[in-house]
Every structure is written in C-alpha cells, then in structure tokens.
Amino acid sequence: MNEELLQYIWMAGLFDANSLYTKDGQEITVYRRGRLNTDSGPDFTNAHVRIDYTDWFGNIEIHLNSEQWYEHKHHLDKAYNNTILHVVLNDNKICYRADGSILPCIELKNKIAESTIAKYKQLKQSKNWIPCFDAIKSIDHFTVQQQLERVLSLRLENKSAHLELALKKTNNNWDEVFYFALARSLGFGTNSEAFEQLAHNMPLNIILKHQNQPLQIEAMTFGIAGFLEEDFDDVYFQQLKQEWQFLKSKYSLHTLDKSSFKFMRMRPGNFPGLRLAQFAAIAGKCPELFKQICISYTLENLKDIFQIQVSDYWNEHYQFGKTSSQHRSNLSQQAINQILINAVVPTLFIYGKTMGDAMCCEKALNLLQLLPAEDNVIIRNWQTLNIKANTAFDSQALIELKKNHCDLRKCLNCKIGTKVIN
C-alpha cells in the first residue's frame, strides 16, 4: 500500500463506509469525500462529514500513518486548520491542528478489501505490454471510449504547449507558428528537431520576399540545412550553391550542421534531401499557409494545400549526387495525412482555444474523425486486445494512452484502470 493508492481508495469510495468510528468512539458518517487537490494544501477539499451529531464542511488529509501529520509539519501550518478529518491506514498517533484542537481520525486498515489491493499490485507489477493487458478485454466499449476521448484532449493540450512557446516567440504570428509546426511534422519524428531548427533559421518574412522563386527558396532550405557544404558536379546542385552564397550573405543566414539530419534506418522516400525539397515547395507555395487553412472547410481543400511540385531533380534523386530510378517526389497521401494530424490539427486546436473560437477546435477534432487511423506497431498491438482504431482520432488517442499513461503506469487516473480495480 502507498499513499497514492490510499488517496485513490478514498476518492473512489473503495472501502467499507459502514460503522466508521474514531479511536475515542465518535461516529463518522461521510456525505461527501471531497475533491482531490493537486495543489499544495490538504489532499481533498470541499468534503462533508458528520461527526456524532455535528456536520462539518472542509478538507480531508490522507496519510498511511497518522504520525505523518507531524512529519509533514501540518500541526504548525494554518492552511491545515480547516482539516475536518484525518483518513489513515494506521492510526498510530493522536494529532492536533495548529490551533490546538484534536483532529478526528478514521483508520481504514480493516475496511479495504484484499482484492482491491491485489488488483492494484497486479497493475503495478505487470510486465505485459500494458499493465491491464489481461483485464482490458473484459472492459466495456463505453469506458474505453470515454478514456480515449479524455486522453485525446490531453494529447492536443500537450502538443499545444509546444506551439504556445512558438506563439510567444513570434509575438502571436499564427502563420509563423504553423510554419514551425509544419517543419516539425515534415521531420516525421526522427528529424523533427532538425527541421524545426531549420525553420527558425529561415524566417518566414524572407520566404515571403521570394515567394515566386522556388530555386531561391530551395537554395536557402538546403543551404541552411548544411547540405550545400559538399560538392557535386550536377547543374542543379551548382545552381543552388551559387544562389545560396548570395542569399546567405544578403540575409546573414546561419547554417546548421548536416549531421543534425538523420538518414539511418529510413526508407529512401523519407530521406531528408527529398523531405527538405518538399518543405521548400510548401513554404514557397504560400507563406501565409495558416490563413489558407482557416478558410478551408473541406478535407479535400485542406489536402489540396499540400499538393506540391518539387524540382524535377528530385524525381531521380533521394539525395544529392546519387541518381536513382524514377519515383514520385511530391507528398504521398499518407504524408499529407501525417501533416494534417501533426501540424494542422494541433495548430487549429490551440488557435481555437486562444481566440475563444469553439468552431475552430471542433474543426480540428472533426478533421481527426475524417482522417484514416495511423498504422504503426502501437496501433497494431491495441488491435490484438480488441481495441481497433477506425480514425485518426482513435489512433492519436491510443498512442497517447500507451505512451503517457500505460507506460507511466497511471492506471489510477484511467477510467479503464478504475474499472479493473473496482
């Protein structure tokens, strides 16, 4: 048993609430267990209990042993004067509040079912792919769905936190915030940091000046990425290099180290060279992309924004200096879907939240419902547990659930975990 579990048991009411008495024989009736307080101060606020014949409204403090009241120095802290009840596993010491009054205490040691503790231990000690691996198949669809909706909001909030920083940095320039999110999404995980750094080194206002000059935008993209430091004979490379020398000194642009971009264990279609060419094509097509996204109302309109044409060179190359067989160099449907999921949806969501525009948040969520589910090892593993992702809404929620809840064993904060333990 630990304090987290005891708090959970109190919060969920998983104890025998009949015949509760303090050690000195006062009868306790619990009407409201209170609201969990995640800030400083007592563990639960806004509780209501009756002690003998008197009703009390206030806070509740939870400890494994009552002596922890003193260890944590609550007896000196006025913030705990409104604690109406001490809930402990073992009552091993009489406790006083800072004002000198005795704090009534109930001991739950013999009031908690063995099975509750056993199920919790099973979750905590499980070595399965997810802790509730053996139990989740028996959990009803409605509970799973409720948990998925909850974690999806958290996923968008987490992604938004990153964008909020960009928003501050750009002085609320939404086109620029989206430009950074777009760069990150084109890094497809492995190269996301490098792509975002590239975007920071290549300001959007400079792209705007070269909007109809794709060669210049490509030259800046590859130059800043450090890809033009080498030497290759082909004409396209030499043209880029020449443009880059001029633009670099004109705008005082800074080069990244090419090694920031990773090639290892990647399909050629994901090689940074081709992805950088695609990024340059999107950025050059319309630097005020976010405005365009806001006025696009159908999925098809949104997808059209990312239909781009890169330089012919990339139809026969995945990287500089190495000719390959002919291939498509524009973005695949799958890549466009990933940009919509990872850049468009979070930016629309935070834009809606910041501007108080509920329609915009709804547009972001609807978009996830319209896009197909992602296909990766996490989604396939969920499927073996009979939890199938039908849309990107489901797949994003399942990824969040696995990475930020199951892997961190936050089962006590999970509706599925609550069902398993109950």
Nearer to ligand SF4, 272 or 417 (CB): 417
- Report the largest interatomic distance among the alpha carbons of the chain, rounded to a whole angstrom: 93
Nearer to ligand SF4, 97 or 119 (CB): 119
Assign 101 to helix, strand or coil: coil
Nearer to ligand SF4, 29 or 386 (CB): 386
How far, in Å, CA of 15 to CA of 71, rounded? 26
In angstroms, what is the C-alpha Rg of the chain? 29
Out of 219, 308, 350, 406, the only residue in the binding site for ligand SF4 (CB under 6 A) is: 406
Q: How far is the CB of 126 from ligand SF4 (least distance, A)?
A: 8
Out of 62, 204, 379, 414, the only residue in the binding site for ligand SF4 (CB under 6 A) is: 414
Q: CA 214 → CA 17, 179, 188, 208, 332, distances in Å?
A: 72, 17, 23, 11, 20
Q: CA 116 → CA 2, 15, 176, distances in Å?
A: 13, 9, 51
With contacts defined by CB under 6 A, how many residues of the chain interact with ligand SF4? 13
CA dihedral 408, 413, 417, 419 (to 10 degrees): 180
Count of H-run helices and E-run strands, the chain: 18, 9
Q: How far is the CB of 123 from ligand SF4 (least distance, A)?
A: 6
Tokens, residue 69? 């009241």
DSSP state at residue 166: H
Task: Look at residues 45, 43, 100 and name the one whose alpha carbon lies nearest to residue 68.
Answer: 43
Nearer to ligand SF4, 103 or 401 (CB): 401
Site for ligand SF4 in 128-147 (CB under 6 A): 130-132, 136
Nearer to ligand SF4, 143 or 192 (CB): 143
Task: Look at residues 232, 236, 230 and name the one whose alpha carbon lies nearest to residue 277.
Answer: 236
Site for ligand SF4 in 15-74 (CB under 6 A): none
Q: How far is the CB of 161 from ligand SF4 (least distance, A)?
A: 21
Tally of CA atoms within 13 A in the half-sphere of 256 that contains its CB: 21
Q: Are strands 317-319 and 322-323 parallel, antiparallel or unpaired?
A: antiparallel
Nearer to ligand SF4, 163 or 378 (CB): 378
Q: How far is the CB of 416 from ligand SF4 (least distance, A)?
A: 4
- Region from 188-196, 306-314, 335-343, 412-420 binding ligand SF4, contact rule CB under 6 A: 412-420
Q: How far is the CB of 235 from ligand SF4 (least distance, A)?
A: 55
Tokens, residue 320? 């500089």
Q: How far is the CB of 375 from ligand SF4 (least distance, A)?
A: 21
**Binding mask of the shown chain, residues 111 to 130, with x at each position contacting ligand SF4 by CB under 6 A:** -------------------x
How far, in Å, CA of 89 to CA of 8, rounded? 13
Site for ligand SF4 in 344-403 (CB under 6 A): 401
Nearer to ligand SF4, 275 or 405 (CB): 405
Q: By CB under 6 A, is residue 151 in contact with ligand SF4? A: no
**Binding mask of the shown chain, residues 213 to 252, with x at each position contacting ligand SF4 by CB under 6 A:** ----------------------------------------
Q: How far is the CB of 341 from ligand SF4 (least distance, A)?
A: 22
Assign 223 to helix, strand or coil: helix
Cβ proximity of 371 and 394 under 8 Å:
no
**Strand ranges (E), 228-343:** 317-319, 322-323
Nearer to ligand SF4, 63 or 405 (CB): 405
Tokens, residue 395? 């797949």
Paired strand residues for 87? 62, 106
Helices (H), 295-422: 299-305, 333-339, 345-355, 358-370, 377-384, 392-401, 415-421
Q: How far is the CB of 160 from ligand SF4 (least distance, A)?
A: 22
Q: How far is the CB of 26 from ligand SF4 (least distance, A)?
A: 37
Q: By CB under 6 A, is residue 405 in contact with ligand SF4? A: yes
Out of 50, 111, 303, 410, the only residue in the binding site for ligand SF4 (CB under 6 A) is: 410
Q: How far is the CB of 37 from ligand SF4 (least distance, A)?
A: 22
* Binding-site ranges for ligand SF4 (CB under 6 A): 130-132, 136, 401, 405-406, 410-411, 414, 416-417, 420
